């Protein structure tokens, strides 16, 4: 054994030399002086799979923020647990600005669904994307307006089936919200993902679907779905003929969103430079074009306003998710 140990140690030295070309270790690291932040690569944690809408928004923003910060931003997809795994990982990283993360609407929902996620564990940098909810029906549906749909539900509460992307998703919550605000009840049918939920409505297996604007607007454009309302405070360019719910007398504004945050307790200067880089990136033409093309709505909400918004969202979901029974 001793000879082996010596050999192994020798091997390690050789190995270190071999892989030194591969770049420096990207693990650990003590807090650097905040004044010369950033002095090394920054990691951006995305709690969802590579290739999805959240990942696209995060990666696009990251490549824009690199320009201002002058350091590489490495996107890390830490998936699982409906996003809670990645969010918990982010919360547990040192608050030195070298780990930031993508915060989806689930950040304020998961805590009320049995996960250990608390929006207070993050310093918020800014919000960059908004995905308002929409309600759509098959083209041959008898319901022409949101009012028709609500009336049908009032006549026979629970008879109108509304598909959504999954149990506990924001779109299921939106279905409950719509029911509560109109004093009636819809029957949510959770599917395994947004696309199957939209398909079920196109195929006529359910009466309606509640999904994000990026999922319903293409189907409306080529005549497979009829979007009845958009749950936003203003109409969207991608759904030009569709009124908001408020315009139709139903005061519901709900949807998904995405922003950037960091572990709570960032040094002031670090937070300031992140906010500055964020604002420049979220306002850049490249970012807004890509997000618009993907069907969602780019926004550029600064930290303070974003923090207020997150607070109000937390209150909303606390109500919506805990009195579902």
Instruction: Enumerate residues 96-125 that contact another protein by CB under 8 A.
Output: 113-116
Mutual angle of helices 285-293 and 268-283, in 10-degree steps: 60
Separation of alpha carbons 143 and 152, rounded Å: 9
What is the CB neighbour count within 10 angstroms for residue 245?
27
**Smallest distance from another protein to CB 226, Å:** 15
Q: Residue 164 — left, alpha, or beta (φ > 0 → left; ψ -120 to 50 → alpha)?
A: beta
Residue 215 or residue 275: which is nearer to another protein going by CB? 215
Min dist. Cβ of residue 34 to another protein (A):
23
Query: What is the bridge-based pairing of β-strands 73-77 and 99-104?
Result: unpaired
Considering only residues 186 through 225, tell me which ones interact with another protein, judged by CB under 8 A: 187-193, 195-196, 198-200, 202-203, 205-206, 214, 218-219, 221-224
282-311: which residues touch another protein (CB under 8 A)?
Answer: 290, 293-295
- Residue span 246-285 as binding mask against another protein, x where in contact by CB under 8 A, dash where not: ----------------------------------------
- Of the candidates 29, 32, 68, 78, which one interacts with another protein according to CB under 8 A? 78
Stretch that binds another protein, among 72-80, 119-127, 128-136, 310-318 (CB under 8 A): 72-80
User: Does residue 92 belong to the site contacting another protein (CB under 8 A)?
Assistant: no
Site string for another protein, 14-53 (x = CB under 8 A): xxx-xx--xx-xxx---------------x-----xxxxx
Q: How far apart are CA 153 and CA 160, in angstroms?
A: 6
In the complex with another protein, which residue's Cβ is closer, 225 or 228?
225
Smallest distance from the beta carbon of 273 to another protein, in angstroms? Answer: 23
Nearer to another protein, 268 or 285 (CB): 285
Residues 149-168 touching another protein, rule: CB under 8 A, are 161, 166-168
* Stretch of 101-109, 183-191, 239-247, 298-306 lying at the interface with another protein (CB under 8 A): 183-191
Check: CB of residue 191 under 8 Å from CB of residue 172: no
For 18: left if phi > 0, alpha if psi spans -120 to 50, otherwise beta; the answer is: alpha
**Residue closest to 80 by CA, chosen among 100, 44, 42, 106:** 106
Distance CA 174, CA 210 (A): 7
Q: Is 240 in the site for another protein (CB under 8 A)?
A: no
Sequence-ordered alpha helix ranges (H) in the chain = 2-20, 53-69, 84-91, 106-109, 146-155, 170-181, 194-202, 213-221, 268-283, 285-293, 303-322
* CB of 157 vs another protein, minimal distance in Å: 13
């Amino acid at each position: 054994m001793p000879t082996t140990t010596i050999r192994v140690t020798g091997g390690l030295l050789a190995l270190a030399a071999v892989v030194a070309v591969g770049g420096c270790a990207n693990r650990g690291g003590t807090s650097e002086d905040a004044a010369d932040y950033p002095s090394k690569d920054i990691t951006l944690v995305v709690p969802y799979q590579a290739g999805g809408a959240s990942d696209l928004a995060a990666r696009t923003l990251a490549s824009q923020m690199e320009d201002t910060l002058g350091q590489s931003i490495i996107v890390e997809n830490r998936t699982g647990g409906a996003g809670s795994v990645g969010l918990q990982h982010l919360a547990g990283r040192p608050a030195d600005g070298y780990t930031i993360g993508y915060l989806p609407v689930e950040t304020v929902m998961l805590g009320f669904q049995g996960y250990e996620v608390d929006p207070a564990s993050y310093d918020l940098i800014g919000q960059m994307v908004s995905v308002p909810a929409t309600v759509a029906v098959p083209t041959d549906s008898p319901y022409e307006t949101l009012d028709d749909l609500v009336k049908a539900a009032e006549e026979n509460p629970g008879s109108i089936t509304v598909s959504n992307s999954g149990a506990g998703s924001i779109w299921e919550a939106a279905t409950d919200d719509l029911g509560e605000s109109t004093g009636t009840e819809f029957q949510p049918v959770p599917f395994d993902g947004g696309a199957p939920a939209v398909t079920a409505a196109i195929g006529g297996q359910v009466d309606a679907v509640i999904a994000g604007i990026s999922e319903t607007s293409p189907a409306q454009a080529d005549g497979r779905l009829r979007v009845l309302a958009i749950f936003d405070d203003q109409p969207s360019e991608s759904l030009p003929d569709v009124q908001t719910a408020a315009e139709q007398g139903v005061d519901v504004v709900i949807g998904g969103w995405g922003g950037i945050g960091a572990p709570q307790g960032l040094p002031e200067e670090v937070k300031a430079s992140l906010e500055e880089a964020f604002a420049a990136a979220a306002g850049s033409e490249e970012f807004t074009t890509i997000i618009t093309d993907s069907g969602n709505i780019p926004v550029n909400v600064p930290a303070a306003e974003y923090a207020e918004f997150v607070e109000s969202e937390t209150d909303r979901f606390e109500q919506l998710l805990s009195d579902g029974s």
